[in-house]
């Protein structure tokens, strides 16, 4: 990949950034970063009725959340601006006039039509779909099969998509167009305009469709939603980034979990598949979990803290060292930040334990034995490391004729209110001697 690519992501500000758009933006970003090229953000706002500044801000915020920074755009400027179509009208009119003057377009009922000449062979190579050939008379047809000339300027003076995108991509120096597979059908029409204006054609790469697990078009229920909603559902930007990168592409190394830097290093547009990609929530959950495991504890803490606060946990009572250490003790349990917050609540608030567990299933005849065992364990606390506690517990259990299951299980319930948790001695070490004693006392176990 010696060539430095100028690529673009060109959303319409008629809604928030959704998964499909984020997927396209991501692949453009990866190619630009892989080749040391330029990633351009262009706003296609010629739909005056539906485009809003609020949606534009939402799209930009979604890009920022995903970590997809752009080199040129409406908020950054650049040598090829303006970067909003509504501010580029002079260009559309200029080239429409050129086509009219050369007899390649004509006016009718206030609109301008591009004339499609029959007998033209259109060939282009797609980086994903290979060589594609279309005859000009099949590029745009009426229902009866006759040639349908292309509207390039509507009666209201606004350019159509298939015209504006050509003018924009050429005048912005875009040399690789990466977009969804549904645009393959538009490419021959656009190439006719490129050729008519004497523009150099860019390279093309069309990305595979994203389908739900039912192999149908992605629905909101299955994932076609705003990227911000993924944040609210407990997904990390790095988790969504990693997951989306694998939709329609896989590294030759077979690697599935990677950082952004690693993704840039191993990305190759030629490895994008033609096969539709399936949005598998289970895989997203797995990748998100693995990304959280890779995070430095204090960074993970900042992702978890808002959810603890939403749960009403007394976060402010603890310093960051304790909170980060608690997350480290959790040992990678939980696939989303919400689950991590829920699974770790007992480190912050004993009342969450008592809400879940009443201690009634502890057999009365076993209580004296457990009280003796736990009392001896507290006396042998020492430096309170998990290793120390486990070693002492084994000796004490053996000396009292008890098993790990008989004695450790009630202790786990008393400390966490859960059947499943990190090692009970890891939890006790993290809580500390006094808190461990307090919780055992509450259940009458010391």
> One of 220, 293, 309, 438 is an active-site residue; which one?
220
Beta strands in 63-175 (DSSP E): 105-108, 111-114, 121-126, 130-135, 150-153
Specify the pairing of strand 150-153 against strand 210-211: unpaired
Give CA–CA dist 269/254, Å, rounded.
15
Examine residue 329 and say whether the peptide bond preceding it is cis (omega within 30 degrees of 0): no
What value, to the nearest 5°, has the Cα angle with vertex 234 and ends 285 and 272?
Answer: 45
d(CA 359, CA 375): 18
Q: What are phi and psi of 416, to 5 degrees?
A: -120, -25
Q: Is 80 exposed, middle or buried (0-12, 13-18, 19+ CB in 10 A)?
A: middle
Residue 338 burial (10 A CB sphere; 0-12, 13-18, 19+): middle
DSSP label at residue 361 = T
Q: Which residues pair with 121 in a beta bridge?
A: 135
Q: Give yes or no: 220 in active site.
A: yes
Of 381, 354, 355, the closest CA to residue 444 belongs to 354
Residues, the chain, total? 446
Terminal alpha carbon distance of the chain = 68
Tell me the C-alpha distance between 319 and 321, whole Å: 6
What tokens does 188 get?
């021959």
CA distance 371 to 444: 8
| Contact predicate 326/347, CB 8 Å | yes
Strand partners, 9: 41
356, 439 contact by CB (below 8 A): no
Q: Is 226 helix (H, G, I), strand (E, B) or coil?
A: strand
Which residues are known to be catalytic? 220
């Amino acid at each position: 990949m010696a060539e430095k690519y100028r690529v673009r992501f060109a959303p319409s500000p008629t809604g928030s950034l959704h998964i499909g758009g984020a997927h396209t933006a991501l692949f453009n970003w990866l190619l630009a970063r892989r080749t040391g090229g330029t990633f351009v953000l262009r706003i296609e706002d010629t739909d005056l009725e539906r485009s809003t500044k609020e949606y534009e801000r939402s799209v930009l915020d979604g890009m920022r959340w995903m970590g997809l920074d752009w080199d040129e755009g409406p908020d950054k400027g650049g040598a090829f601006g303006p970067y909003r179509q509504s501010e580029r009208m002079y260009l559309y009119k200029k080239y429409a006039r050129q086509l009219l003057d050369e007899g390649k377009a004509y006016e009718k009922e206030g609109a301008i039509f591009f004339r499609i000449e029959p007998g033209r062979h259109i060939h282009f190579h797609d980086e994903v779909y290979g060589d594609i050939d279309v005859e000009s008379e099949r590029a745009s047809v009426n229902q009866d099969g006759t040639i349908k000339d292309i509207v390039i300027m509507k009666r209201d003076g606004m350019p159509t998509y298939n015209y504006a995108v050509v003018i924009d991509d050429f005048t912005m120096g875009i040399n690789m167009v990466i977009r969804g597979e549904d645009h393959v059908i538009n490419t021959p029409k656009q190439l006719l305009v490129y050729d008519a204006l004497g523009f150099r054609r860019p390279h093309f790469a069309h990305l595979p469709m994203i389908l739900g697990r039912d192999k149908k078009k992605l629905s909101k229920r299955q994932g076609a939603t705003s990227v911000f909603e993924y944040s609210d559902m407990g997904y990390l930007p790095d988790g969504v980034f990693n997951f989306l990168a694998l939709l329609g592409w896989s590294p030759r190394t077979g690697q599935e979990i990677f950082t952004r830097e690693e993704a840039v290093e191993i990305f190759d547009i030629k490895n994008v598949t033609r096969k539709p990609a399936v949005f598998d929530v289970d895989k997203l959950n797995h990748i998100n979990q693995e990304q959280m495991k890779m995070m430095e504890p204090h960074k993970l803490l900042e992702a978890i803290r808002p959810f603890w606060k939403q749960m009403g946990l007394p976060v402010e009572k603890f310093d960051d060292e304790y909170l980060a250490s608690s997350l480290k003790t959790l040992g990678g349990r939980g696939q989303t930040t919400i689950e991590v917050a829920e699974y770790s609540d007992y480190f912050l608030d004993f009342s969450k334990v008592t809400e879940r567990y009443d201690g009634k299933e502890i057999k009365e005849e076993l209580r004296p034995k457990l009280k003796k065992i736990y009392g001896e364990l507290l006396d042998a606390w020492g430096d309170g490391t998990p290793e120390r506690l486990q070693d002492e517990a084994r000796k004490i259990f053996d000396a009292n004729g008890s098993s790990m299951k008989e004695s450790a299980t009630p202790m786990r319930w008393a400390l966490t209110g859960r059947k499943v948790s990190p090692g009970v001695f890891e939890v006790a070490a993290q809580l500390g001697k006094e808190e461990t004693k307090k919780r055992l006392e509450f259940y009458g176990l010391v």
